[in-house]
Amino acid sequence: MARTTGSEGSRTEEAIRTAAVELIAAHGFEAMTMRQLADRVGVQPGSLYRYFPSKGQLLVELLVEHLEFLVSRWDSEQPEDADPRVRLRAFVDFHVRSHTLRRREAFVANMELRSLAPGDYRRVVALRRNYENLLTAILSDGIAAGCFRLPDARVATFAVLAMLTGVGSWYRDAGRLGKRELIEIYTQMVMQCVGAQ
């Protein structure tokens, strides 16, 4: 549900989303209870159902929202018809940024696919595939253009995504590395990984 007027409602909905992402990231979807969630938001459990028809649907909305955000954001951010190397650099930058900025959303989107009902699973996996395909396209173009040296574009997609996504599970803003440094390190590793010339 989207909600239109009256500020309280949409504020509560946002609070639920935020709290849900935090709780799911911390304990896992199955381990989060609606009671915990309600407590954190400061409402009664029954009130959650004004905003989300079920616990499962709440998860779906979180994941869909995140994946659509990723794809549409990249869409508006990607460099125009550039060299695969430029596009890959931009992708690494984008991915690392969004996976540290929206760390918990990204984490949940990666971990909780299996908690979805079959129909929702297919829908969300399709969205994720869209995102993966963005990278596969870059890598394939680069291989075709002779500027990447990779044995298999699809496997490389999985490999690069896994490498980049992993950042969310250890990076902390308060840690040793600044975000700019982090992105540079990953950029160098990815460019070496794909054998960029």
Partner DNA sequence: TATGAATGAGAATTCATTCAT
Partner DNA sequence: CATGAATGAATTCTCATTCAT
Residues listed for the chain: 197
Residues 181, 12: Cα–Cα separation, whole Å: 37
Residues 60, 77: Cα–Cα separation, whole Å: 25
**Positions that interact with DNA (CB under 7 A):** 1-10, 12, 32-35, 42-50, 53-56
Among DNA, a second copy, none, partner that 102 touches (CB below 5 to 8 angstroms by kind): none
Among a second copy, DNA, none, partner that 20 touches (CB below 5 to 8 angstroms by kind): none
State the nearest-atom distance from the C-beta of 6 to a second copy, in Å: 21
Cβ-contact 97, 52 below 8 angstroms:
no
Contacting a second copy within 144-183 (CB under 8 A): 149-152, 155-156, 158-163, 165-167, 169-170, 177, 182
Among DNA, a second copy, none, partner that 56 touches (CB below 5 to 8 angstroms by kind): DNA
Residues 148, 172: Cα–Cα separation, whole Å: 31
State the nearest-atom distance from the C-beta of 41 to DNA, in Å: 8
Residues 114, 167: Cα–Cα separation, whole Å: 21
Among a second copy, DNA, none, partner that 5 touches (CB below 5 to 8 angstroms by kind): DNA
In the 8-state DSSP scheme, what is residue 115?
G
Q: Which residues of 68-98 are buried (b: 16+ CB within 10 A; e: fewer)?
A: eebeeebeeebeeeeebbebbbbbbbbbbeb
**Of positions 1, 11, 14, 28, contacts a second copy by CB under 8 A:** 28
Q: Which residues bind a second copy (CB under 8 A)?
A: 26-28, 30-31, 111, 114-115, 149-152, 155-156, 158-163, 165-167, 169-170, 177, 182, 184-186, 188-190, 192-195
